[in-house]
Structure 1
Amino acid sequence: MPDKIRKTILITGASSGLGEGMARQFAAKGRNLALCARRTDRLDKLKEELESTYPDCKVSVRALDVNDHARVFEVFKEFKAEFGLLDRIIVNAGMGKGASLGTGYFHANVQTAQTNFVAALAQCEAALEIFREQNDGHLVTISSISALRGMPRAMTVYAATKAGLLSLTEGIRADLIRSGLPIKTSAILPGFIRSEINEKVKNTPFMVDTETGCKALVKAIEKEPVQAYVPGWPWALIGFLMKRLPLKMVMKLG
């Protein structure tokens, strides 16, 4: 466990799902929160709830569509100016639209590709500008267990974007090691955690509820690992097997 407590945490996509759940868990630990998402009405309600429940927790919210890349840089800098320091930035905003390629759903597939990878790149760029200036910080990217192999149907593009994000995070880490900068990176690979992105998916094995999943996410993030499967059981084992099993067996998870 790192000695340093990351007091101020920025989370994108914080108005619902895993982002909202992580915000609640970090607030319970007394952290200050910089929360952004497209749906400001939900952010405002979350801010009111958290500050009422945890009076010592400062919460600031801003509207942000992560596909507006210029605005990503602006919002991150505004939070930095407000708090003075951003200790941890969690690149969480994402989506899961899509269908099998060649079936007329390019509009949905490209939207997922842009949001989950290109917009994540913008968030990583903006975060690292701040961390390089501070000479400190913890960059967290929320990838997915699906990043380990190609997936069928609606998961095809989603899995590809999460694989790209996983590789991007490792590349950033390699660059930071070479530069000798004391900036940490963590790639988190959630298994099946119930959220709005998968609420219509039924009969999924090993699915945990949002609160349980977010508690596990925060516990993993606090350890600042290079990479972590969440929840650890059974996803560390499943991840090990996914890398080695024939594709016909792996695709049954999609």
Structure 2
Amino acid sequence: MGRLEGKNILITGASAGIGEACAREFAKEGSNLILAARRLSKLDELKADILKQHPNITIYTVALDVSDKENIDKVVPGLLEKVKHVDVLVNNAGLVIGLDRLLDTSAEAIDAMFNTNVKGLVFLTQAVLPGMLARQTGHIINLGSVAGKQSYGGGSIYCATKHAVDAITRALSIELVDTPLRVSQICPGMVKTEFSTIRFRGDQEKADNVYKGLQPLVGQDIAELIVFTASRPPHVNISDMLVFPTAQADSKTISRST
């Protein structure tokens, strides 16, 4: 039996991209899934597809907007009554809006990024962590980014949110060091998902140009690393992982074919 078989895995932002890929990879391990995102119909489609291949696992889907604390406070307690406990929390939900300079970034974009990337991660962790502490077992895995390690022009607010994720992850690991709980952070470079499409407000051509001339990472690449991190033996904690496609060396150093 694998270490993740029968474990309950809560994944936010599970309707697409890295979150969807995580759901599929954890299902291969025999894990039960709690899939959360704003688009419930997408989650239900994903659930049906996964159960065709893995009929022996249990999957819950729940409409959840992590940027809304009232929504978290309303939804999560009822969810936990059904699933009883969460073994692994994957704080994957996140977004970026535009490539505007700080001077030009709108208040709405600032709020959206901080509410989702930072506050949502914190509030959901606060909702799940007490149960983990009560049972003295659990693993929190946060989706960071190279943007949380290196800032770049046109990304001041997004970088700030991912620097916050880095700081929160490190501080939480210190706070929990005298418990068996584990805290990890996975920080991808360029990953081709709908992330860039959202960044450019639906402009697919601009989104595609981000990855032009190189082979970027895909959601499954990161999902495999998240599952690997979650499946280490209890005395092993992968605290921080920075992952690039081979053609990327840092946030702005990229080799593109002509």
TM-score under structure 1 normalisation?
0.84
Q: Does residue 184 of structure 2 align to residue 186 of structure 1?
A: yes
1:113-156 C-alpha deviation (Å, 9 max, x unpaired): 22111111111211212212222110111111111121111x22
Q: State whether residues 9 and 86 of structure 2, in contact with CA within 8 Å, keep that contact through their aligned partners in structure 1.
A: yes
Stretches of structure 1 lacking an aligned partner (at least 5 in a row): 243-249
Residues 190 and 217 of structure 2 are in contact (CA less than 8 Å); yes or no, is this contact kept in structure 1?
yes
* Secondary structure at 2:104 match in 1: coil
- Give the length in aligned residue pairs: 237
Task: Using the TM superposition, give the Cα deviation of residue 219 of structure 1 relative to its aligned residue in structure 2, in angstroms.
Answer: 2.4
Report the equivalent of 1:229: 242
Deviation of 1:88 after TM superposition, in Å, equals 0.5
Distance in 2 between the 1:77 and 1:26 partners?
23
Distance 1:4 1:21 in 2: 16
Q: TM-score, normalised by structure 2?
A: 0.83
Equivalent residues in 2 for 1:85-100, closer than 5 Å: 85-98=85-98, 99-100=100-101
Q: Tell me the alpha carbon deviations over residues 178-199 of structure 1, each in whole angstroms, 9 at most, x when there is no partner.
A: xx22111111111222111025
CA distance in 1, matches of 2:227, 2:153: 29
The answer (yes or no) to whether the contact 2:27–2:50 under 8 Å persists in 1 is yes
Partner of 1:246: none
How many angstroms apart in 2 are the aligned matches of 1:183 and 1:217? Answer: 16
Q: Alpha-carbon deviation of 1:212?
A: 3.3
Q: Does the 8 Å CA contact 1:88/1:138 hold for their aligned counterparts? A: yes
Deviation, 1:252, is 5.1
Mapping of 1:138-153 within 5 angstroms?
138-153=139-154
Query: Which whole-Å CA distance do the structure 2 matches of 1:222 and 1:45 have between them?
Result: 26
RMSD after superposition: 2.4
| Secondary structure of residue in 2 paired with 1:66 | coil
Matched, 1:211 2:212: no
Q: Are the structure 2 counterparts of residues 128 and 83 from structure 1 closer, same or farther at C-alpha, using a change threshold of 3 Å? A: same
Consecutive unaligned residues of structure 2, counting only runs of 5 or more, are 198-206
Q: Which has the higher helix share?
A: 1
